[in-house]
Chains A and B, each alone.
Chain A
C-alpha cells in the first residue's frame, strides 16, 4: 500500500453496529460468497483474468476485500457488491496484463497457431481458448454485459441492478457487445475456413 488515502465505498449504514448486527452482516456476506463463488470465479475468468491459477488468486483477493469492507455493504446487496469488487479486480488484472506486469503466458489459453479440425474444435479447452480470444478484443464494459447475459444468463434487468446502470444503457451495451462478438466470431470463422482450405 502506498499509504495514499483514497476514498472507499461508503454506504449510509456506517453507524457502529452492535456486535450481533455485525455478525449478521458477516454471516450474510459469507453466505452470499458461498453461493456466488462459482459465479464470481467464472466471471473473473471470462472477464479476462488468466491463466486459471491467476483466477484462483483473483477470487481470493475479491473475497478478502469484501471481508474487509463487509460493514459497508447494504443488506441484500452482498452479491452485487461481490460482483463489483470482482469487476474491479478484473480491471486491475487486465491493466497489469497490458503492462506486462502479469505473465499471460499460458499454452492452454493461447490462440492456437495451427488450425483445429472439426474434431479438435469440439475440444472444450480449445473452444474456451478461442472464446477467450474473441472476448479479449472487446472492451471490459461490453464484455461484462455479454458475459452476464449470454453466459450467466442474467436478464437485462438483473444486469442493470448488478452494474447500477439504467436498463436502457444495459440494452444498448448488449446490442453493441453482441455485434462485436459476432463480428469477431465471424472473422475467426473466416480465418479457420481459410486455413482449412475451405472456399
Chain B
C-alpha cells in the first residue's frame, strides 16, 4: 500500500498548504520542557542531559552567537540538567501554585494479540498519588472515562527484554546551579501565570524581579520571549517590536526567531 502524496508536498491547494505549513514552527518552550521532564524525577536526569545540547542552543539566544557555542556551555547545561534531575520533580512541582488533586485518566488494555498470562487489573486508587500542580482541567476533579488501547507488543509471546541501563557518566552534582535554575523556573513561572490570566503588569513585574535576581540568567531566552509577550498583551507594541527587532537583528535564524516573529505578528522569514 502506497501512502498518498501529502498535501504539503504538492497534493493540496495553495490555501491548504499555507494553513498546514503554519504549524511547522509551533513548539513548546524550553521552560515547559524542563518542567515536564522533571516529572520523571531521578530518571529524568539522563533525559535532561540528552536534551542539554538543545537547551544550550536555546540559552545562547542573546547571550552568545550560536556559532561560538562550545562544549563548555553544553557541559554546563548537562551538569545542571543532571543536578536538576537528581533534585527531582518535587522541587519543581513545588514552584507551581494552586495545588489540586487531579483525577487520573483510565487507561485500559484490550490486547489484540494473545499474551502469556492474563494481566492483573490494577486499580487507579493504588497509583493515583495526589499531584500538586495547577491545571484548569483538574479543577473539576474529573475522571476520564476514555479508553486507551495500547499497541500490542510485537514480541508479546516472549518476556519483554529489558536492557541494562547505560551507566551514568560520573558527574559531580551542581546543587547551586540546579537550585539557581529551579529558582529561575519559579520566577518565570510567575510571569507565565500572570500572562495566562491576562495580567501583563504582574507579568512584567515578575520579569523585572527575575532580571534583578538573576543578572546572568540561564533562561534568558524564555524571559525575553515572555517580556515580548507581556508587552504585546499590554498593548505596548512599539516596545515589544523594538525588543524583538534587537533579537532578530542579532540572530535572524536563531532557534527562537520564528517564535519572536510570531509574537509580534511579523511575517515568517523566507
Contacts and interface: CB of A to CB of B under 8 A. Distances in A.
Interface of A: 1-14, 17, 20-21, 23-31, 33-35, 37-38, 41-42, 45-46, 53-70, 72, 74-77, 80-81, 84-85, 87-89, 91-93, 96, 101-103, 119, 121-125, 127-128, 130-131, 134, 149-151, 153, 155-156, 161-164, 167, 171, 174-175, 178, 181-182, 185-186, 188-189
Nearest to B153: A74
15 contacts: A28-B163, A29-B43, A31-B46, A34-B50, A53-B195, A57-B134, A57-B137, A69-B127, A85-B105, A89-B105, A92-B105, A151-B23, A161-B151, A171-B1, A178-B4
A51 B14 CA distance: 26
Interface residues of B, number: 103
Given A11-B150, A37-B37, A149-B6, A61 B144 contact: no
Given A7-B121, A12-B115, A92-B144, A27 B39 contact: no
Q: Which 9 A-B pairs have the closest CB atoms?
A: A26-B43, A9-B107, A127-B22, A41-B28, A34-B47, A30-B47, A10-B119, A5-B123, A53-B196
A62 B135 CA distance: 12
A25 B162 contact: yes
A101 B103 CA distance: 15
Contacts of B20: 131, 150-151
Interface string B118-153: 011111110111110111111111111010111111
A127 B103 contact: no
A60 B123 contact: no
B71 interface: no
A150 B7 CA distance: 7
B3 interface: yes
A55 B28 CA distance: 8
A151 B7 CA distance: 9
A26 B42 contact: yes
B265 interface: yes
Contact of B39 (A35, A64, A123): A64
B214 interface: no
A179 B189 CA distance: 41
B117 interface: yes
Contact of A9 (B109, B135, B136): B109
A163 B149 CA distance: 8
Contact of B27 (A1, A38, A91, A123): A38
Contacts of B160: 12-13, 74-75
A2 to B, nearest CB: 5
B137 A5 contact: no
B18 interface: yes
Q: Which of A61, A68, A91 has the most CB of B within 10 A?
A: A61
A185 B19 contact: yes
B220 interface: no
